[in-house]
Structure 1
Amino acid sequence: MVGEFTWFWTDPSAWRTQRQRVEAGPVWAEVTATPVQLAMEPGDGAAPIYCAGPGTPYDRSYGLHSASPDCDVVYERPSAGPVAAQWSITWEVTWHGWTGTSPAGGVLPPMTSRAQTELVIAEAQALRTQ
């Protein structure tokens, strides 16, 4: 809805360091990816919103019109049709391993995982009388 806080988050239990190890004989490598930023591109031309953590899942106890403690967007105008909103998580990635004769490792460029959905931004009018 136009003018309302639209909360966004990812599953907090998934916001954790991920590791994967592969081996071939005496050679092995382990990659470690740590989430560092959640972002949302609202899809309406507005600038992306960045959050340092997974965001806070909405619960009615926060109230119907409340801002998220950490991750939300407010759409300023209705959409003529669906807008393609995109969420992303940026990961810091390192690796270490064994070449068979010596240790190896390093830092890889940040990686980003993405998800997209279509949203329709609606506007509601109200008349209040006393």
Structure 2
Amino acid sequence: MPTPRQVAEQAFEQLRLPLPAPRHSPDLRLADGRVATVVGEHTWFWTDRSVWAPQTKRVQTGPVWAEVVAVPAAMTFTSGSGGSSSCGGPGTPYDRSYGLHAASPDCDFVYTASSFGKPGDQVTASLGIRWRVSWTGSTGSAPVGGTLPDMLSRASVTFAVVEAQSVRSR
């Protein structure tokens, strides 16, 4: 008969975490159809809130059972141009009410150079969710539990980073 810890490790292996659904703003469309953001602007990053929820997997063998719970703990962002950041939550979707050049309250990145010269003149950014994992279970006669290693689900998005020129007049 397996131990509850062994059953928890089996549930851990079977747990399938949702991938982040990367979103960003500015989210421009270039004339050739590519998606883009702008050099020097606060590029807001977030994931769809539906993926930011605890995930569970339960496995039972006879009277021995274990349930693994993965809870989203942080979101990581890798820019595709050498920079990265970490956010404590799913990020905040951009809304015009924040203002045109505003920083995100929790998750943004400022690109300092265009993606010109990179493959396809684009960057491939990565959004990851770090999950804290715990488990509870029973030997059939006594409750048990503990923690397991953190998990990571990651998705990428490709877009151009473009320069915008402007003229100011008084």
Is this a same-fold pair by TM over 0.5? yes
C-alpha RMSD over aligned residues: 1.6
The residue aligned with 1:61 is: 97
The residue aligned with 2:130 is: 90
One-letter amino acid of the counterpart of residue 97, structure 2: S
Unaligned runs of at least 5 residues, structure 1 = none
TM-score, with length taken from structure 2: 0.69
Name the CA distance, whole Å, in 1 between partners of 2:114 and 2:57. 44
Name the CA distance, whole Å, in 2 between partners of 1:97 and 1:129. 69
The residue aligned with 2:42 is: 5
Unaligned runs of at least 5 residues, structure 2 = 1-37
TM-score, with length taken from structure 1: 0.89
Structure with greater helix share of residues: 2
Identical pairs, percent: 54
Q: Which range moved further: 4-13 or 119-128?
A: 4-13
The residue aligned with 1:118 is: 158
One-letter amino acid of the counterpart of residue 122, structure 2: P
* Deviation for aligned residue 1:12: 3.0
Deviations along 1:69-94, one digit per CA (max 9) or x if unpaired, are 11000100101211110000101101
The residue aligned with 2:82 is: 45
Deviations along 1:29-82, one digit per CA (max 9) or x if unpaired, are 100111111110001012x11111111111111111111111000100101211
